[in-house]
Amino acid sequence: MATPPAAVRSVREVRDRLVDVLAMVLCVTIMWVDVVRSPDADVTVAAVAVIVLASSPVLIRRRAPILAFALAMALIFAVMTFAGIYVTVAAPGIICGYALAEARGRRAAFVAAAAALPLVVAILQVYSPHGYFTWDTAKNLGYVAIPLALGVAAHDRRAYTAALVERAESAERTREEEALRRVGEERLRIARDVHDVVAHAMVAINVQAGVGAHLLDRDPERARSTLRDIKRVSGESLDDLRSMLGLLREGDSDDDAGSAAPVRPTQGMAQIEDLREGLGSAGIHLDVDLDPAIGALPAAVGATGYRIVQEALTNVMRHVGPTTARVRVTHRDDAVVIEVENDEGYGPTPLDGSGSGNGLRGMRERAAAIGGSFEAGPRAGGGWRVAASLPVGAT
């Protein structure tokens, strides 16, 4: 539980001390009234002193409840001896007994009762004119048992309330932690999407720009076609980026609703065919084999599969150059299996896993995020192979 501010604690301490003083004054008052009204009582200085002394344990019952209860019970003998009263002598013991049980709980109450009840019996034997099996005995024993029982009930209620508060605070902390975790996961997902979109577009543009520069003088028509491909790829990439930014702006106010970027549908497995055109202009022949059953995949699985294929083909463009690549997606039982293979090419940087590894790590993280598996490595006959298995139950 949170610690209350110092000012609040100070106010509580002053209030508690005032209550303690008032409780002591109340005990002194009712016992003194009993002395004045009782014909057998002695109105003496000793009687006043012993009444004040017997009431003083009330002042320390919060800081030392065991000591306060023990003193209150022991001083009963002094009050009955020097003041000669019997009716109100139990008042300090009642208050201190309740305080003890309320502060220390059930076990302390049982111990206090085991010690105090025989003491009450001894007092009755010395001072009471009544027999043991009378209402007077039951009443005096009740002066011990009832305050202890009420104190235990108050202690248990306070503990239960504290547990409820702690549970509520723990639930609130859990909700905040879960919200932060989800925000972190969403940021990571968006970062991966941005990486995939930008990397794929920049690699494609870089390759196509090199082809266009090479053909500018020898084949102007093909050079113009390459420039159109660059324009198309860059436009599609900008649309994807605007869609991602539009998702980030969904929480904006209604005033900004008209200026929010339009959000394109998230790409799925069916859009893998759209990657063929950009790869073709980069000199990569792409074969695509898609299982018809992938049309009913959950959105998370479809988007993850598309991004894995896109990043794998981006690596082919970056490291291999003109070659042949194959994409096969099959639906097997409760999983979708994705395989991307490419033949050995003639790029300046062979695809052998010696790069920065960000692309491979991103694909692996994407698959793991929905409970799937991922592997990548060189093929036995040359080239590279990427494979992922994604559970169709991921949402």
Q: Supply the DSSP string of 106-132, one letter for each residue.
A: HHHHHHHHHHHHHHHHHHHHHH--S-S
Are 267 and 306 in contact, with CB atoms under 8 Å apart? Answer: yes
Q: Which band of pLDDT confidence, cut at 50, 70 and 90, is reported for residue 260?
A: very low
Q: What is the pLDDT of residue 257?
A: 46
Q: What is the mean pLDDT of residues 225-229?
A: 75
Is 374's pLDDT higher than 90? yes
Give residue for tokens 């009755």: 124
| 252: amino acid identity, one letter | D
Per residue, what are the HEC states of 156-199? HHHHHHHHHHHHHHHHHHHHHHHHHHHHHHHHHHHHHHHHHHHH
Is 130's pLDDT higher than 90? no
Q: What is the pLDDT of residue 138?
A: 82
Q: What is the pLDDT of residue 99?
A: 92
Task: Choose the weakest-confidence range: 193-202, 301-310, 362-371, 372-381.
Answer: 193-202
Domain ranges across the chain: 6-174, 265-395
Q: What is the pLDDT of residue 353?
A: 52
Q: What is the pLDDT of residue 338?
A: 92
Q: How far apart are the first and last CA of the chain?
A: 37
Q: Which two tokens stand for residue 202?
A: 């920049």
Stronger pLDDT, 267 or 249, i.e. the higher one: 267
Domain 265-395 fold is Heat Shock Protein 90 (3.30.565)
Other beta carbons within 10 angstroms of residue 139's beta carbon come to 11
Q: Which band of pLDDT confidence, cut at 50, 70 and 90, is reported for residue 1?
A: very low
Stronger pLDDT, 292 or 221, i.e. the higher one: 292
| 29: amino acid identity, one letter | T
For residue range 67-124, list pLDDT tens digits in order. 999 999 989 888 888 888 877 888 999 999 999 999 998 999 999 999 888 888 888 7
Q: What is the pLDDT of residue 129?
A: 64
Output the pTM of the full model.
0.49
pLDDT above 70 covers a percentage of the chain that reads 82
For residue range 4-38, list pLDDT tens digits in order. 567 777 888 888 899 989 999 999 999 888 888 88
What is the C-alpha to C-alpha distance for residues 379 and 267, in angstroms, rounded to an integer?
A: 28
Q: What is the mean pLDDT of residues 33-44?
A: 81
Give residue for tokens 């022991």: 74
Q: What is the pLDDT of residue 49?
A: 92
Q: What is the DSSP string of 60-95?
A: GTTT-HHHHHHHHHHHHHHHHHHT---SSTTHHHHH
Q: What is the pLDDT of residue 259?
A: 47
Q: What is the pLDDT of residue 149?
A: 93
Task: Choose the weakest-confidence range: 53-57, 62-66, 124-128.
Answer: 124-128
Q: What is the mean pLDDT of residues 161-168?
A: 90
Q: What is the pLDDT of residue 246?
A: 64
Q: What is the pLDDT of residue 359?
A: 76
State the greatest distance between any 2 C-alpha atoms of the chain, in Å, as a whole number. Answer: 133
Q: Which band of pLDDT confidence, cut at 50, 70 and 90, is reported for residue 318?
A: confident
Q: What is the pLDDT of residue 347?
A: 55
What is the C-alpha to C-alpha distance for residues 362 and 356, in angstroms, rounded to an integer?
A: 11
Q: What is the mean pLDDT of residues 48-58?
A: 92
Stronger pLDDT, 87 or 201, i.e. the higher one: 87
Q: Which band of pLDDT confidence, cut at 50, 70 and 90, is reported for residue 297?
A: confident
Looking at every residue in the chain, the average pLDDT score rounds to: 80
Query: Among 198-202, 282-286, 339-343, 353-357, which range has the highest average pLDDT?
Result: 339-343
